[in-house]
């Protein structure tokens, strides 16, 4: 049997930690690094050490700032045979920056964010959105399949970043709308279960609505996707809109609402804590 490649995983937050576990479970040699040290046998003290002898480099970091900082620390270890997989949701400029860095080194790069949250990561059921060359995607496919249930090739580098940000705009706006609907119905004495049932039978119903309405109604904000991460993605959406002179008032208002919740100390709660804006919460 051919030996599986070695994978370096940078960022052991909600998603990276679970993906590293899945890769190890499937027989990959995994080398990990996290800014705040984690008690794992496969952890290394810094990004450069982690990068040594790794064929694939998978990033599950917060944003473009983290990505650039970490990449600059391991850059010297990269070789043309290496493949860089950025799974972090970053701004478009950071994706373009990373693509240019990889081109300079001569290594391969995929812009490959994902959808699916904490439980999907735990079950190796993420959906990857890929931007980049088909050849690079085919080379990385077996590795990507170890943590996902689907891989969608969406076009060149940058296309996956833009689509991921636009889908998060929809998720954030949807949860803000769910919070408003739940606040109005509850204030008028309607049981949350009835509202949830009605939404499920309505064209506005969705997987997201069925996941978030019951937990919002119960005041359960256990983090699947944090308020601060959704807030940063809303800012990326506003940047993308502004760069094409588009006015997007819906996400602007939702972004402000998420910023307010972060300021109130709710940055690490699930982004469905948008419902906390209403007095009885
Ligand atoms: N959770 C989801 O449902 C979901 C879904 C789709 C996409 N995403 C995206 O996937 C990425 C990871 O998500 P997550 O939920 O795993 O996030 P998370 O739990 O917030 O983890 C973020 C990771 O980034 C690291 N980090 C932050 N700033 C850093 C810096 N300046 N230098 C080095 N490391 C830094 C953190 O390290 P520390 O532990 O030291 O803070 C942590 O390992 C994010 O871009 C997120 O938007 C998440």
- Domain identity same for 82 and 167: no
Residue 138 and residue 189 in one domain: no
- Give me ligand 1 centre to Cα 150, in Å: 21
Q: What is the dihedral of CA 108, 113, 119, 121, to 10 degrees?
A: 0
In the reported structure, the alpha carbon of residue 61 is separated from the centroid of ligand 1 by a whole-number distance in angstroms of 4
203's tokens: 């064209």
| Residue at token pair 């509850």 | 186
Q: Which two tokens stand for residue 198?
A: 């009605």
Q: Are residues 58 and 81 in the same domain?
A: yes
Using CB distances shorter than 6 Å, the residues near ligand 1 are 11-16, 34-36, 60-63, 65-66, 69-70, 88-89, 114-115, 117-118, 224-226, 229, 233
Q: How many domains are there within the chain?
A: 2
pLDDT of residue 249: 98
Question: Are 15 and 141 part of one and the same domain?
Answer: yes
Same domain, 215 and 141: no
Task: Return the pLDDT at 1.
Answer: 58
Q: Does 143 lie in the same domain as 13?
A: yes
Indicate if 83 and 131 belong to the same structural domain.
Answer: yes
The dihedral formed by the CA atoms of 195, 200, 204 and 206, expressed in degrees to the nearest 10:
120
Confirm whether 1 is domain-assigned: no
Domain ranges, residue 256: 161-277
Q: Whose CA is nearest to atom 44 of ligand 1?
A: 62
Residue 231 lies in a domain: yes
Residue 18 within a domain: yes
CATH number of the domain at 92, please: 3.40.50.720
pLDDT digit string (tens) for 55-85? 999 999 999 999 999 999 999 999 999 999 9
| Structure confidence at residue 212 (pLDDT) | 97
Please name the residues in contact with 228: beta carbons below 8 A apart, sequence gap of 6 or more: 262, 267, 268
**CATH number of domain containing 226:** 1.10.1040.10
Which residues 6+ apart lie within 8 Å of 271 measured at CB?
172, 175, 225, 226, 227, 229, 230, 231, 258
Task: Give me the residues of the chain with pLDDT under 70, please.
Answer: 1-2, 280-281
Ramachandran sector of residue 137 (left: φ over 0; alpha: ψ -120 to 50; beta: rest) = alpha
Q: Based on the fold, state whether residues 111 and 213 are members of the same structural domain.
A: no
34 pairs with which residues across the strands? Answer: none
Instruction: Quick: pLDDT tens for 223-270.
Output: 999 999 999 999 999 999 999 999 999 999 999 999 999 999 999 999
- Predicted confidence at residue 279, as pLDDT, reads 76
Strand partners, 30: 7
How much distance in Å is there from the Cα of 104 to the middle of ligand 1?
26
Secondary structure element (H or E) that encloses residue 84, with its range: strand 83-86
Among 61, 65, 74, 89, say which to mutate for ligand 1: greatest number of ligand atoms within 8 Å of CB.
Answer: 61
Q: Is residue 31 part of a domain?
A: yes
User: What is the rounded CA–CA span in Å between residue 204 and residue 214?
Assistant: 16
Query: Is 114 in the same domain as 165?
Result: no
Q: What span, in angstroms and rounded, lies between the C-alpha atoms of 76 and 61?
A: 19
Please state, in angstroms and as integers, the Cα–Cα distance from residue 1 to each residue in 4, 27, 142, following that order.
9, 12, 14
Could you say which of 112, 127, 157 is where a domain stops?
A: 157
DSSP code for 226: B
Is the domain of 170 the same as that of 55? no
| Residue that terminates a domain, selected from 157, 191, 215 | 157
How far does residue 225's CA lie from ligand 1's centre (Å)?
9
CA 238/CA 232 separation, integer angstroms: 10
- 49 and 17 together in one domain: yes
Regarding whether 82 and 213 lie in a shared domain, the answer is: no
Write 95-98 long-range contacts (CB < 8 A, 24+): 95/64, 95/131, 95/157, 95/158, 95/161, 96/157, 96/158, 97/64, 97/68, 98/67, 98/68, 98/71
End residue of a domain, out of 157, 178, 204: 157
């Amino acid at each position: 049997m051919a030996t599986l490649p070695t994978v370096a995983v940078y960022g052991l937050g909600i998603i990276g930690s679970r993906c590293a576990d899945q890769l190890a479970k499937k027989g990959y040699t995994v080398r990990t690094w996290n800014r705040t040290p984690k008690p794992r046998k496969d952890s290394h003290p810094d990004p450069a050490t982690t990068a040594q002898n790794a064929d694939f480099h998978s990033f599950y970091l917060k944003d473009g700032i983290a990505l650039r900082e970490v990449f600059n620390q391991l850059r010297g270890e990269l070789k043309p045979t290496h493949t860089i997989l950025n799974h972090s949701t970053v701004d478009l400029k950071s994706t373009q920056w990373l693509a240019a860095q990889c081109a300079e080194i001569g290594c391969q790069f995929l812009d490959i964010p994902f959808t699916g949250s904490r439980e999907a990561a735990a079950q190796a059921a993420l959906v990857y959105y890929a931007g980049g060359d088909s050849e690079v995607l085919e080379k990385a496919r077996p590795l990507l399949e170890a943590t996902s249930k689907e891989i969608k090739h969406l076009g060149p580098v940058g296309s996956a970043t833009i689509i991921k940000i636009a889908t998060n705009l929809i998720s954030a706006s949807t949860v803000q709308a769910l919070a408003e609907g739940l606040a109005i119905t509850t204030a008028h004495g309607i049981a949350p279960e009835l509202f949830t049932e009605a939404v499920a039978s309505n064209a506005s119903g969705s997987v997201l609505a069925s996941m978030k309405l019951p937990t919002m109604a119960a005041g359960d904000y256990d983090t699947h996707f944090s308020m601060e991460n959704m807030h940063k993605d809303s800012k990326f959406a506003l940047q993308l809109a502004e760069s094409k002179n588009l006015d997007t008032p819906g996400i602007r208002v939702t972004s402000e609402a998420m910023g307010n919740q972060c300021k109130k100390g709710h940055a690490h709660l699930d982004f469905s804590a948008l419902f906390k804006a209403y007095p009885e919460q």
